[in-house]
Chain A
Amino acid sequence: MVEKSIGQRVLRKEDVRFITGKGQYTDDINLRGQAFAYFVRSPVARATIGHIDVSDAESAPGVIAVLTGQQLAKDGLGTLPCGWMVLSKDGSEMKQPPHPIMAADSIHYAGEPVAIVVASTYQAARDAAERVVVDYDELDAVVDLATAQDSDQIYPEVPRNTSYEWELGDREATMAAIAGAHHVTRLTLRNNRLIPNAIEPRAAIADFNPSTEELTLYTTSQNPHVVRLVLTAFIQIAPEHKLRVVAPDVGGGFGSKIFIYSEETAVAWASKRLGIPIKWTGERSESFLADAHGRDHLTDAVLAMDEEGHFLGLHVKTRANMGAYLSTFASSVPTYLYGTLLAGQYKTPNIYVEVDAVFTNTAPVDAYRGAGRPEATYLLERIVEIAASEMSLSPAEIRRRNFITDFPYQTPVALEYDIGGYDASLTKALEMADWDGFESRRGEARARGKLRGIGLSCYIEACGIAPSKVVGSLGAGVGLWESGEVRVNPTGSVSVLTGSHSHGQGHETTFAQLVASRLGISVDDVGVIHGDTARLDFGMGTYGSRSLAVGGSALSSAADKIVVKARKIAAHLMQSDEDSVEFDDGVFTVKESNRSKTFQEVAFAAYVPHDYPDDLEPGLAEKAFYDPANFTFPAGAYVCEVEIDPDTGVTRIVKFTAVDDFGEVINPMIVEGQVHGGLAQGIGQALLEQCVYDDSGQLMTGSYMDYCMPRADDLPDFDIAMTVTPCTHNPLGAKGCGEAGAIGSPPAVINAITNAIGIREIDMPATPERVWRAIQQAGGQ
């Protein structure tokens, strides 16, 4: 008996190996004869490199070679590309200074790799790295985003340190709406810079075989095929058919493992040069310095309203910190993943957004869980909250007055929402959070000497990234479809191959449920294979909450093709014609007869085709490529309730309600887990996390002593529920759930804190010090 597994809380198949320490991560892989690499990194943020003396390091014990960025440049390798071309207001292309694999003549951020030491042990490589002497002619670093455009020019080809000045929307109409409005609300805010902190630091092993000229690269990637493509097409490391990229178990990505980094590229080059396998495992310290960071915006916004609080126009001007170079997808984050989301859940008729992308002497900034959408949501839900107060409307009422209710809905910022049900999510969230009973809880807290506050946030995101035609027209260098393959084995078990990559999401379970359900077989009979360019044709990987909506839809199409072919085989076996054969719950039946064949019988016959007719091919395996017709638009309503100790400024989240609309859900347990993780990261941003550089570009928050991550006791039990409006344009009705928690939660937390203290604004992270000062300024209680 096979239960329909869609919608079931199937325990995660992969967790057995993860929780028993049997996962196979990149660092767990050891190759015969491997050497170890350690990177020499610049201790300064901006400098000209003089002489590099490697002689002492080369003669150190165990050292095989010391290779510098200067040698790498001589070998004619390419530079690390940014894959999305963004145009400025005047039509000019974004300015993209070359991003070297290792610095050859100049340094642009502290931590930039300069040389790689290869030795017989990790310790030997590390010790010898101390003996590499690099002459740095230090220059004044440009660090502060607020003043960077008027500071010393970092690159000769980039005036005002500005890569592009992008715009979207109708400027004149928006300005006119603001000029004629009954009321305008203004807000200036900063979206704090974050460091990703995946639990597994990045790592790579490159294995070049001089006799076949084949190169295998094991690396901590969310998208191994994209790594292969970039290493071939842009870096010219090896031809694509001789390059295999494997991303085995990966311990968290959150975006930071999408990108093609210096380290795996340099290790691949070194292995090829030296003809031996070379392994690099990043230290936590290197993650802080050299993983692409997230967020870091400075924004001014104006929201115009009529007498009744209907939004008339929104003007947003943002400066986005790109760091020292444009990382792999960096240019798309503050533009097409940010500006396009500024309608939120609201039918604001006129929106105009301007974004300046600014270089500084800091680590590159790129996509981090949510990527642009948390920045848009934070801005919008903060200004709407303030507008409600200025218009003397309740936070729920101002939102309800502006909700989009008719779908499909074309926003003024390029997106077309296919479906949503915003009032349903809000109503459910308010009810679960007992919004109406809040004032009595506030009074009770006051009696205990605590400040209690409540905050609301209604977010939307665009995910299921992305329709290739649309992103292509917007400057993306790649299409964002996905591939899937369903291989039925002769005994009826199934191997599923997907171009999506799991680094904690539970694809081995969700995709097995999806395919098992389509084929009417047990979840235990489906195995999921991913993360190896040698085992499947191509895939675009996992980011932007796309795996189920795009990768799952490809598998759905492949499973449909399996059923079509299997029906032909069943018809042959039952001496009927294909149109007379029905398939339900794993059994093929000739209509109005008692003749039937199980899926397993048909699978066996597919591989033992002794009496097949000429027009029927043996075998039962199908591939599909799925290109989404539109983005998907998950949305929801979050309510956060806090209690603040006015003596210490410590904020405790006492209640958090999240109601999300992810469309159809395959495994509610996994979806809830994703929401929990997203909320923890969003709350981390709101209360704790902050990346800080000093004036000279030194990273001050370079360890867990100074960079505060959320822990279990910082978080409450979450109250989670779902409302469902199924996505209209993919076969699963699914929208995506990976980023929502991190997108929707920061403004809910900050709105609760400003509500508790009775102030208009406070910056993230709302640390005890900031909260305490805000309370003092507000005049105690």
Chain B
Amino acid sequence: MELVQRVIIPAPRQAVWQGLNDPAVLKRSLRGCETFEANAAGGFDIVLQLKVGPVKASFRGEVSLTDVVDGESYTLSGSGKGGVAGYAKGSAHVTLSEPEPGRTEMRYRVDASVGGKLAQVGSRLVDGAARKMANDFFGEFIRVICDDDQVEFILETIEE
């Protein structure tokens, strides 16, 4: 699955960048996330409950940040194993700009793939599930960093 989206967030770029690097913010933004902790390798250990169609499992894995350009962009990549349910892996390349003070434009390209039982019985549902997960994550992320449940923002899909 591939997805490219753009959001306009009513917050300064530095606040958005800090959120993108704060495990507590990321954990709150990720639905079903039970653990999101910094590890010794500079990444994060995560435990995540995922449900795709008939397959529901707890995935354990690692998230790492690469290609970091401070305040501007990074790539968030992760992979997780769900035991008999199979595995999931994905990455999101995120870039930030501030077209006007106090408003940040965030673009991200998400790639995701699955294997094992998740692919076998849930393949046709994976795209939809991954897209929903990305939408939910970034939507929630914006609400968290703006600290406003009602915050208004513009989200548009550029490619999928």
Contacts and interface: CB of A to CB of B under 8 A. Distances in A.
Interface string A273-310: 00000000000010011000000000000000000000
Interface in B106-152: 113-117, 119-121, 123-124
Interface in A257-283: none
Contacts of B84: 40, 126, 129-130
Task: Name the residue among A129, A696, A698, A702 with the largest chain B CB count within 10 angstroms.
Answer: A698
A16 interface: no
A427 interface: no
A110 B83 contact: no
B86 interface: yes
B119 A694 contact: yes
Nearest to B87: A43
Contacts of A703: 120-121
A705 B123 CA distance: 10
A131 B57 CA distance: 13
Interface in B50-101: 53, 81, 83-84, 86-87
Nearest to A129: B84
A40 B121 CA distance: 17
B46 to A, nearest CB: 16
A288 B117 CA distance: 11
B83 A130 contact: yes
Nearest to B60: A133
A699 interface: yes
A130 B116 CA distance: 12
A700 B116 contact: no
A434 interface: no
Contact of A44 (B115, B120, B121, B123): B115
Nearest to B85: A130
B156 to A, nearest CB: 28
B78 to A, nearest CB: 16
Interface residues of B, number: 16
Nearest to B120: A702
Contacts of A41: 116
A700 B113 CA distance: 12
Given A698-B114, A705-B124, A706-B124, A131 B119 contact: no
A288 B123 CA distance: 14
B60 to A, nearest CB: 10
Given A43-B115, A43-B117, A698 B123 contact: yes
Nearest to B123: A700
Contact of B83 (A129, A285, A706): A129
A751 to B, nearest CB: 31
A130 B117 CA distance: 12
B67 to A, nearest CB: 22
Contacts of A43: 86-87, 115-117, 119
Interface in A199-240: none
Contacts of A288: 120
Given A126-B84, A129-B84, A131-B83, A285 B120 contact: yes
B124 A289 contact: no
Contacts of A698: 114-116, 119-120, 123
Nearest to B82: A130
Majority secondary structure of chain A interface residues (helix, strand, loop or mixed): loop
Contacts of B87: 43-44
Interface string B21-38: 000000000000000000
A699 B121 CA distance: 9
Contacts of B123: 694, 698, 700, 702, 706
Contacts of B116: 41, 43-44, 110, 698
B115 A289 contact: no
Given A129-B83, A130-B84, A285 B115 contact: no
A143 to B, nearest CB: 13
Contacts of B120: 110, 285, 288-289, 698-700, 702-703
Question: Which has the most chain B C-beta neighbours within 10 Å: A285, A289, A705?
Answer: A705
Interface in A127-183: 129-131, 133
A123 to B, nearest CB: 12
Nearest to B117: A285
Nearest to B121: A703
Contacts of A44: 87, 115-116
Interface string A379-423: 000000000000000000000000000000000000000000000
A43 B120 CA distance: 10
A696 B83 CA distance: 19
Given A43-B115, A698-B114, A285 B86 contact: no
A285 B121 contact: yes
A703 B53 CA distance: 12
A702 B117 CA distance: 8
Task: Select the residue from B83, B120, B124 with max chain A CB neighbours within 10 A.
Answer: B120
B115 A696 contact: yes
Contact of B119 (A40, A126, A702): A702
Given A705-B124, A706-B124, A699 B119 contact: yes
A696 B117 contact: no
Contact of B113 (A133, A285, A696, A706): A696
Contacts of A129: 83-84
A312 to B, nearest CB: 47
Nearest to A111: B120
Nearest to B53: A705
Interface string A691-709: 0001010111011011000
Contacts of A289: 120
A697 to B, nearest CB: 9
A700 B117 contact: no
A59 to B, nearest CB: 16
Contacts of B53: 705
A702 B124 CA distance: 11
B121 A705 contact: yes
Interface string A582-612: 0000000000000000000000000000000
A288 B119 CA distance: 12
Contacts of A705: 53, 121, 124
A422 to B, nearest CB: 44
Nearest to A693: B119
B31 to A, nearest CB: 22
A40 B85 CA distance: 11
Interface string A5-22: 000000000000000000
A700 B81 CA distance: 19
Contacts of A40: 84
Contacts of A133: 81
A706 B120 CA distance: 9
Interface string A92-114: 00000000000000000010000
Nearest to B116: A43
A637 to B, nearest CB: 39
A41 B84 CA distance: 8
B142 to A, nearest CB: 33
Contacts of A696: 113, 115
Nearest to A42: B116
Contacts of B83: 129-131
Nearest to B84: A130
Nearest to A131: B83
Interface of B: 53, 81, 83-84, 86-87, 113-117, 119-121, 123-124
Given A43-B116, A702-B117, A702-B119, 6 more contacts: A44-B87, A44-B116, A110-B116, A705-B53, A706-B123, A706-B124
18 contacts: A41-B116, A43-B86, A43-B87, A43-B119, A44-B115, A44-B116, A110-B120, A133-B81, A285-B117, A285-B121, A694-B119, A696-B115, A698-B119, A702-B119, A702-B120, A702-B123, A703-B121, A705-B53
A-B complex: 3 closest residue pairs judged by Cβ atoms: A43-B116, A702-B120, A130-B83
